[in-house]
């Protein structure tokens, strides 16, 4: 695929309409704090008193959402589908491996056909960084794009469900010391988390990992770099673990999984260095015994499954905010 390079407009501006409201959700980078907090507040409104995001709201009735997944996904695809259904949208899941893309149809031709079926929103996951932006630049004016993960670039709804989890389990983001641990170099989740945490005023951000997975240039994102995990998680309130994304590594950047676990795995002993009431997060899929011990993943400080539930609320929030904004535009025209 060509022409996926970021266009000239700043990334934040490319997702906002002329009134500064969210039209596409492509990245957390550069988005104003009030947009991020409105996503969190709207999501909180979809969560019931049992802390399970199950409220139904017909805010997308009559709308069609197409899930366009060019790359594997379990949690993200399923929660987007469920979220759209909870909002009463019609939902299409396009399986790219069995679609015409496999017969050589270009991305834009596939897109134009979906537009002709009068879809209102595309949820896009793609292995190429920039794919969601590329699509956003080529869709008809009434259609919105939500980025469900592009290459190693961004995964904004994952970052927002992580922010919601921190807020609900620990309190305001600006009171938290957060460590992101592991394969940050290949992680679209980490990039989106870092931008969101910074915008929401995180108290302290530490980036923890080996040199091959955590180049010094990542310090430019803000946050301190730690090669020593014990030092990196000492006294933190939130430990965010990441999977080794071997499918995105160009060569062997690592020793064995066992050695990786010895240096950067979250074992019970290591977790004891964080604050006693620290929470353990992971976007999934988890690799037990590689980046996280089973007993920690299943332990009392783990909120990993709660993140999945909150993901439903956050995806409902993003979709309903975008549709609400586009209806306002229609009404004022
Ligand atoms: C992540 C992803 O696909 O970027 N998973 C997810 O969306 N829940 C993280 C990963 O693949 O490790």
Kindly indicate the confidence band of residue 108, based on its pLDDT and cuts at 50, 70 and 90: confident
Task: Tell me what pLDDT residue 107 has.
Answer: 80
- How is domain 156-303 classified at the CATH fold level? Rossmann fold (3.40.50)
Helices (H), 17-71: 33-45
Give domain limits for the chain. Answer: 11-155+309-332, 156-303
CA of 284 to the centre of ligand 1 (A): 6
Any idea what DSSP says for residue 108?
H
pLDDT cut 90: percent of the chain above it? 72
Task: Tell me what pLDDT residue 39 has.
Answer: 98
What are the strands of the beta sheet with 224-226, ordered from one edge?
224-226, 204-208, 177-181, 238-241, 279-281
Contact present, 92 and 145 (Cβ < 8 Å): no
The answer to whether domain 11-155+309-332 and domain 156-303 are alike in fold is yes
Distant-in-sequence, close-in-space partners of 275: CB < 8 Å, separation ≥ 6: 177, 235, 236, 237
Instruction: Name the residue of 131, 184, 189 whose CB sits within 8 Å of the most ligand 1 atoms, as the mutation to test its pocket.
Output: 189
CATH class of 11-155+309-332: alpha beta
- Ligand 1 pocket, residues with Cβ under 6 angstroms: 75-76, 149, 155, 158, 188-189, 243, 245, 283-284
Nearest to 146 by CA among 85, 29, 68, 91: 68
CA of 74 to the centre of ligand 1 (A): 9
Contact present, 152 and 186 (Cβ < 8 Å): yes
pLDDT cut 70: percent of the chain above it? 92
The pLDDT tens digits for 80-100 are 999 999 999 999 998 776 666
Task: Tell me what pLDDT residue 277 has.
Answer: 98
CA of 66 to the centre of ligand 1 (A): 20
The overall pTM is greater than 0.75 = yes
Mean pLDDT within 183-209: 96
Kindly indicate the confidence band of residue 160, based on its pLDDT and cuts at 50, 70 and 90: very high
Return d(Cα 225, Cα 179) in angstroms, integer: 10
Joined tokens for residue 287: 């690799």
Kindly give the number of the ligand 1 atom that is closest to the alpha carbon of 243. 12
């Amino acid at each position: 695929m060509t022409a996926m390079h970021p266009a000239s407009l700043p990334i934040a501006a490319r997702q906002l309409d002329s009134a500064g409201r969210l039209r596409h959700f492509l990245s957390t980078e550069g988005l104003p704090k009030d947009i991020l907090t409105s996503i969190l507040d709207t999501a909180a409104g979809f969560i019931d008193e049992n802390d399970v995001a199950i409220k139904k709201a017909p805010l997308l009735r009559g709308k069609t959402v197409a899930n366009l997944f060019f790359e594997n996904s379990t949690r993200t695809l399923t929660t987007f589908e469920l979220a759209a259904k909870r909002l009463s949208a019609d939902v299409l899941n396009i399986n790219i491996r069995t679609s015409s893309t496999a017969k050589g149809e270009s991305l834009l031709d596939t897109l134009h056909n979906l537009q002709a079926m009068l879809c209102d929103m595309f949820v896009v996951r793609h292995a190429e960084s920039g794919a969601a932006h590329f699509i956003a630049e080529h869709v008809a004016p009434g259609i919105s794009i939500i980025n469900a993960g592009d290459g190693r670039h961004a995964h904004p709804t994952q970052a927002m469900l992580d922010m919601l989890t921190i807020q609900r389990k620990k309190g305001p983001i600006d009171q938290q010391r957060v460590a992101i641990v592991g394969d940050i170099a290949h992680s679209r989740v980490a990039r989106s988390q870092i931008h969101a945490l910074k915008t929401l005023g995180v108290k302290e951000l530490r980036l923890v990992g080996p040199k091959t997975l955590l180049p010094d240039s990542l310090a430019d994102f803000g946050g301190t770099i730690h090669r020593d995990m014990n030092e990196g998680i000492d006294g933190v309130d939130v430990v965010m673990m990441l999977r080794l994304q071997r499918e995105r590594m160009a060569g062997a950047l690592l020793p064995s999984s066992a050695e990786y676990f010895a240096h950067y795995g979250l074992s019970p002993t290591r977790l004891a260095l964080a604050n006693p009431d620290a929470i353990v997060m992971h976007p999934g899929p988890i690799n037990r015994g590689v980046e996280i011990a089973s007993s920690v993943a299943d332990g009392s400080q783990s909120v990993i499954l709660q993140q999945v539930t909150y993901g439903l609320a956050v995806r409902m929030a993003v979709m309903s905010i975008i549709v609400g904004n586009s209806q306002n535009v229609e009404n004022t025209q």
